[in-house]
Amino acid sequence: MKKKTKIIIYSISGIFLFLLLAFLYIGFIYKYSEFTFNFYVEETGEKLNGELFINDVSFGRTEEGRMTIPVENLSITSFEFRTTYGEDSFNFPYNFSQEFLEWGEHDFIVYEEQLKPKKIKFIFYDNKTDCKLNGKIYINDVLLGETKEGIFVLTESEYKQKFKTNSTLYIFGRTDFCFGDDKNLPFVEYWTIHDLQYSFDNYEDLDFEMDLDPRWPKYSIEMQDFVRPEETTSYLKDNLRKYFKNNTWEDLDKIASYMRISYISDWNRFKKAEYWQTPTETLKIKMGDCEDWAVTTLSLMRAYNDSIDCYNILWPTHISIFCYENNRFIIYDQDKTKFSTALETENTRDSIVTQENKIAIRKMRNDYFDWYGLSPSERRMYALFNEKELITFEKDEDFINWAIQLINN
């Protein structure tokens, strides 16, 4: 009987030892079979959901800030947590120690400071003067905002919403007191933006350097800003108003003929190939060349009536004035010069009438070319502009079609 009891006791002890060893083995295996990642904000305890990348491979998204992954899949050489907070995206790379696996889980914290919107600065300045440049910033012709003290701050969310691959960014503004005698003059510059994500990820600001010559505008939008009716209002009132007859064409003729300046080339006066004056400067000294006469005279015309369709014409080597009203077209130039034509306004949809009107416009333009002495290479019309409108032409016939469309409308 005693022997039997011993056998039972040994059996029970064996079973107990087996179960204990099995439990310990299972616990050992369980401890190392899975690992849990926890993500939260240190200061608030807020749980963060996002996507987990291990060795550049996505392992899915966290739930309630947690993700559990089998240990057998955790041969980690790189580890990154990508999350969206507010409107901004953030990437958080972490160092991962294999010792973490012994713990079964680990907390990976993010600080509030790290969750602030990513921003970079665009810094605009002129190389020659080291002056800061203030103006409006556009991306693909959409206004982004304005610089302050030469700085524009761009957020990552704005970048992702408004920029495309190879976007065109430009700044348009006027020089300030830093430029001395060249203050209050327009400037514009363009850049192609390829990819800014690296700059955001590394909080890297960008310098946009310019080599400005505000007296030599390169783009039509800069030339357009030299037309300033507000600078000629007093002159118009004091010197020209008394001659007006309340007839648009007669009054425009009076402005064009009265506005006479002594011609002097930019080289002879300023020792520069180009030197554009503002209307205020031209009216003060009564000297200048073709663009000085053209922008000042157009400014007077627009001060007279800003609803009239008058523009500066940009040729390769010259600038003159073009006006339109009802069915009449006129080109004005210096020395009381003008060329005009009247078009047929009846049956303008008829192809024959259209062709006759086109011939009339071409003749007016060619008569002007011949009188002024513009060579064939100089007869390309690039644009029409006043202070409110800028109309560009890819080829000469575009201007003819544009003029015909005015009649048809």
Cα separations in angstroms, 386 against 274, 309, 394, 401: 20, 9, 19, 20
**How far apart (Å, rounded) are the C-alpha atoms in residues 389 and 383?**
10
- Give the model's pLDDT for residue 8: 53
Question: Residue 97 gets which letter from DSSP?
Answer: -
Distance from C-alpha of 324 to C-alpha of 405, rounded to nearest angstrom: 12
The answer as to CATH 3.40.50 being correct for domain 222-408 is no
For residue 249, what are the CA distances in angstroms to 9, 45, 219? 126, 76, 30
Q: Which CATH class is domain 119-212?
A: mainly beta
Cα 120-121-126 angle, rounded to 5 deg: 155
Phi/psi region, residue 204 (left: phi>0; alpha: psi -120 to 50; beta: rest), is beta
Q: Are 142 and 166 in contact (CB under 8 A)?
A: no
Q: How many other C-beta atoms are found inside a 10 Å radius of the C-beta of residue 105?
A: 13
Domain regions of the chain by residue span = 30-115, 119-212, 222-408
- Going from the C-alpha of 247 to that of each of 35, 68, 236, 307, 309, the distances in angstroms are 89, 85, 16, 14, 15
- What is the residue-wise DSSP string for 334-375? TTTEEEEEE---TTTTSHHHHHHHHHHHHHHHHHHHHHHT--
Those residues of the chain that have pLDDT short of 50 are 1, 18-30
What local confidence, expressed as pLDDT, does residue 220 receive? 95
Give CA torsion, residues 361, 363, 366, 370, to 10 deg. Answer: -140
Pairing of strands 262-263, 287-288: parallel
DSSP 47: B
| pLDDT value for 23 | 43
Q: Do domains 30-115 and 222-408 have the same CATH topology?
A: no
In CATH terms, the fold of domain 30-115 is Immunoglobulin-like (2.60.40)
